[in-house]
Structure 1
């Protein structure tokens, strides 16, 4: 394997179409697309300072390295890439790429990152930026800390564990999502999504969990969550907390410790299609006296 060590590389396509190369302690300065169309690379302790560093690449291993903010749109149309113990400051990284693994990676300016990608594995990744992972497929995340609105919009086949998401409009237009042992804070969670499951999660969301099909919550807590489950069908909700209010669920079962307000409008839904249980007491038989706006 050819070794490139402690080099200062500038100019467009500085190492264009490189193959079987190990790059150490080097700086890619001004100049677009320094490693375009390269494959079978090992990159360690190196810095990328300019745009489009890894486009149309294959089989990349990167450790202890950094993509600065100016290395924006850095990794597009690239497949089979593993990045570990690194910082990706650049926005719009990863577009139409696949087989991507990030371990112990910080992404402080991650706007529009991971768009239209597939087969993504994230472990101990910190993200700050809106529109993360839009329209991507097959995502697994463990210990993901994400701050940014509209994450995972239009994505499908997602598994998230042990994570914290501060995100308005998270998981919109999604299919086949399971979230375990995580905290999600942000308005309007999960609208227009199908086959969504939350297990042992804490959720805070104004008008969260609405317009959904096949939504399941197992041993979850809903903090400061009002007008939940509007126009949701096939609900299985086991809530171990108070719910501020529920509005117009279409069908299913909702169990909670207590509910502040239940709004069931017979002109819009059939109240008999949803069973609501509060502290082991079913409200269905006395629904007229227990609900408002019926």
Structure 2
């Protein structure tokens, strides 16, 4: 493996198509696509300060690195990339990649980040930005924190543990989602999604859980949740708190400490298809 230490690189494609290279304490300054078409790269304590650092690459590991704001659209069409202990300030990162692992990573400007990827693992990741992870599939996240609306739109096969998410319109148009031991705050949770399960979660959501199919809540709290479950099917909800209002669920079972307002309109739903139980 060739090694480079304490060097500064400029100009377009500074290391185009290199293989089996390690860079330590290096700076990749102005110059697009420094590692385009590269394979078997290890970067340690290095900084990426310009656009498109890793495109069409594979087998990449970056540790203790910094991706500056101008490293925008930085990692696209790449396979098997791991970032550990990194600060990633650039937007539009990780597009159409396969095999993305982020450990102890701060995504400070995560707008339009992690789009259309496969096989993603997030461990102790903090992200701030809208439309996070749109269209991605096979995602596992643990100790995940997000501030940004419209997250996980159109995702498939998602498992999340111990998350805190402030996000409007989370999990729209999704399929096969399981969330454990998490807090989610935002309006319109989960519309048009199917096969969604929440376990030991706290959710605050105006008009949450509407137009969903096969939605399961186990031992969950619903705070400030109004007009919920509208036109949803196959509901199995166990809620340990009061629900402010439930409106026109199609069918299933809703068990809650209290339902402050129950709206069942004969013109739109058959009220006999939903079992409502309060403690």
- TM-score scaled to structure 1, two decimals? 0.95
Whole-angstrom distance in 1 between the partners of 2:165 and 2:79: 27
- Aligned match of 1:201: 201
Aligned pairs (5 A) from 1:262-273: 262-273=262-273
Structure 1's consecutive aligned runs of 4 or more residues displaced over 3 angstroms after TM superposition are: none
Matches within 5 A, 1:133-144: 133-144=133-144
Match of 2:243 in 1: 243
Please name the residue that 2:106 is paired with: 106
- Residues 67-78 of structure 1: matches in 2 within 5 Å? 67-78=67-78
Equivalent residue number for residue 292 of structure 1: none
The equivalent residue for 1:50 is 50
User: Who wins on radius of gyration, i.e. which is larger?
Assistant: 1
Match of 2:30 in 1: 30
Match for residue 64 of structure 2? 64
Partner-residue secondary structure (3-state), 1:160: strand
Aligned length: 279
Aligned ranges for residues 195-234 of structure 1 at < 5 Å? 195-234=195-234
C-alpha deviation, 1:215, in angstroms = 0.2
CA distances 1:235-288 after superposition (whole Å, capped 9, x unpaired): 000000010000000000000001100000011000000000001xxxxxxxxx
Aligned match of 1:150: 150
CA distances 1:116-153 after superposition (whole Å, capped 9, x unpaired) = 10000000000000000000010000000000000000
Structure 2 unmatched ranges of 5 or more: none
- How far does the alpha carbon of each residue in 1:155-198 deviate from its partner, in whole angstroms, 9 at most, with x for none? 11000000001000000000000000000000000000000000
SS of corresponding position for 1:126: strand
Q: Equivalent residue of 1:272, what SS? A: helix
3-state SS of 1:176 partner: strand
Q: Distance in 1 between matches of 2:46 and 2:15?
A: 14
Distance 1:61 1:72 in 2: 18
Alpha-carbon offset, residue 207 of structure 1: 0.4
Counterparts of 2:108 and 2:24 in 1: how far apart (Å)?
24
SS in structure 2 at match of 1:210 = coil
CA displacement at 1:44 relative to structure 2: 0.3
Deviation at 1:103? 0.3
Q: CA RMSD in A?
A: 0.4
Unaligned runs of 5+ residues in structure 1 are: 280-294
Distance 1:207 1:264 in 2: 15
